[in-house]
Amino acid sequence: MSQSPISLGRKLRFSQIVVFEQVLRSGSILRAAQVLNMTQSAVTKVIHELEHQLGAALLVRGNRGVSPTEFGELVARRAKSLLAELRYMSEEVNAFQQGTAGQVLVGTLISASAVLLPRAIQLLKARAPAVVVTLRVAQMDQLLPALPVGDLDLVVGRVPEDGTWRTRSPQLEAETLYREPLCFVGGIQHPLAAPTPATLRDLLAFPWILPTRDSSLRQTADRMFRDAGVTPPANVVESLSVLTNVALMLDQATVGLMPDSAARQFAQAGLLAILPVPGLPDFGDIGCFAFTGREPAPAVELFRSCLREAAAGIATPATA
């Protein structure tokens, strides 16, 4: 049975889309009912109505909850986009009626979370206290796909050098904000935390923290060893957890790699020392990714301007 936009629009209600998306997000009709402040039977009724109107099953019910059918996944992708547009419209209405308001959903990586994002959020809050900023920390391959469907408004982090993300996501754009140097760090009492410069080979005598193998920073680290003709260290912990890494380096022996702006933040707090090792490669360009297929909400545009202002105070802007 084919569905025209007019016939489908007459049948469907936005509240049904909200309920369906929450069921998928919760993985359970019971948990979705609790979040939505509805009864379990009321949620079940909405799903049944939606399945009847669309002419196919949306969910598979099992002992561990519910999961989408293949048809349900198709509807879910469009449902997320519809809800994102509804959120943008509500934010524009609120901004028009009350002044700047709304929500900004931001995905980020370690490269932006230590300095750039806190500064940008402070600028935003000084100008628009009612805007809610929600942060999600993950890897780039998890964050970028969330932009087209509306799960995120912006992704802030290192721009991959290979450019393959442009092929996979042609509707995404990246605005380069600045170029980030890379540095070695250790505890403030680390033996190499002296003014005398050290070499990469000097560091091999110590335990290391390296980024996980699926991260872009690990690729940079591997290339650094290769270019220096040095065998990578064997005594390694692989981690992208900033708090864990800082705690490990408090042993005054472990060595880690960090973007320069993050390292300086910890050094100023007296937690870490920047180890004087010349000749390190740059960490790369730090930028802001966005989806070009939707008009951004006013709060999102305001936050982008705050990111630009915060980036200008960190380093010299990079050339694109």
Count of domains observed in the chain: 3
Q: Which residue has the tokens 């940008």?
A: 120
Token duo for residue 16:
């049904």
Helices (H), 176-318: 200-203, 216-228, 242-249, 260-268, 298-312
Residues 39 and 115 in one domain: no
Q: How much is the mean pLDDT over the chain?
A: 85
Residues 292 and 149 in one domain: yes
Which band of pLDDT confidence, cut at 50, 70 and 90, is reported for residue 320?
very low
The average pLDDT across 276-302 equals 87
Residues 172 and 290 in one domain: yes
Among the residue ranges 71-85, 135-149, 286-300, the one predicted with the least confidence is: 71-85
What does the DSSP assignment read for 301-314?
A: HHHHHHHHHHHHTT
Most distant pair of Cα atoms in the chain: their distance: 76
Query: Does the residue 242 lie in any domain?
Result: yes
The pTM assigned to this predicted structure is 0.66
Residues 170 and 187 in one domain: no
CB distance 170 to 164 below 8 Å: no
Predicted pLDDT at 94: 67
Query: Does the residue 241 lie in any domain?
Result: yes
Residue 51's domain is classified under what CATH number?
Answer: 1.10.10.10
Query: Does the residue 318 lie in any domain?
Result: no
Query: Does the residue 319 lie in any domain?
Result: no
Q: Which domain holds residue 49?
A: 5-78
Residues 53 and 26 in one domain: yes
Residues 161 and 305 in one domain: yes
Cα–Cα dist 125/114, whole Å: 17
DSSP at 149:
T
Residue 152's domain is classified under what CATH number?
Answer: 3.40.190.10
Residues 27 and 56 in one domain: yes
Cα–Cα dist 153/103, whole Å: 9
Query: Does the residue 67 lie in any domain?
Result: yes
Model pLDDT for residues 52-77, shown as the tens digit of each residue? 888 888 888 887 788 888 888 888 88
Residues 230 and 168 in one domain: no
Q: Are strands 59-62 and 65-68 parallel, antiparallel or unpaired?
A: antiparallel
Predicted pLDDT at 319: 39
Residue 167 in this model has a pLDDT that exceeds 90: no
Tell me the C-alpha to C-alpha distance, in Å, between residue 71 and each of 8, 59, 67, 147.
Answer: 16, 9, 11, 22
Interacting residues of 235 by C-beta distance below 8 A, sequence separation 6+:
206, 207, 208
CB distance 140 to 159 below 8 Å: no
Residues 194 and 265 in one domain: yes
Residue 288 CB neighbours (<10 A) = 23
Among the candidates 43, 78, 113, a domain finishes at: 78
Residues 67 and 13 in one domain: yes
Query: Does the residue 88 lie in any domain?
Result: no
Residues 112 and 56 in one domain: no
The dihedrals phi and psi of 37, each to the nearest 5 degrees, come to 60, 45
Model pLDDT for residues 173-195, shown as the tens digit of each residue? 999 999 988 899 999 999 999 88
Region at 241 (left for phi over 0; alpha for psi -120 to 50; beta for the rest): beta
Residue 170 in this model has a pLDDT that exceeds 90: no
Q: Which residues pair with 180 in a beta bridge?
A: 284
Query: Does the residue 86 lie in any domain?
Result: no
Residues 119 and 250 in one domain: no
Query: Does the residue 10 lie in any domain?
Result: yes
Tell me the C-alpha to C-alpha distance, in Å, between residue 203 and each of 89, 191, 195, 235, 240.
Answer: 54, 10, 15, 11, 20
Determine the Cα angle at 77 with ends 75 and 80, to 5°. Answer: 105
Residue 275 in this model has a pLDDT that exceeds 50: yes
Residue (of 181, 133, 192) closest to 158 by Cα position: 181
Among the candidates 46, 78, 110, a domain finishes at: 78
Residue (of 2, 4, 3, 50) closest to 23 by Cα position: 50
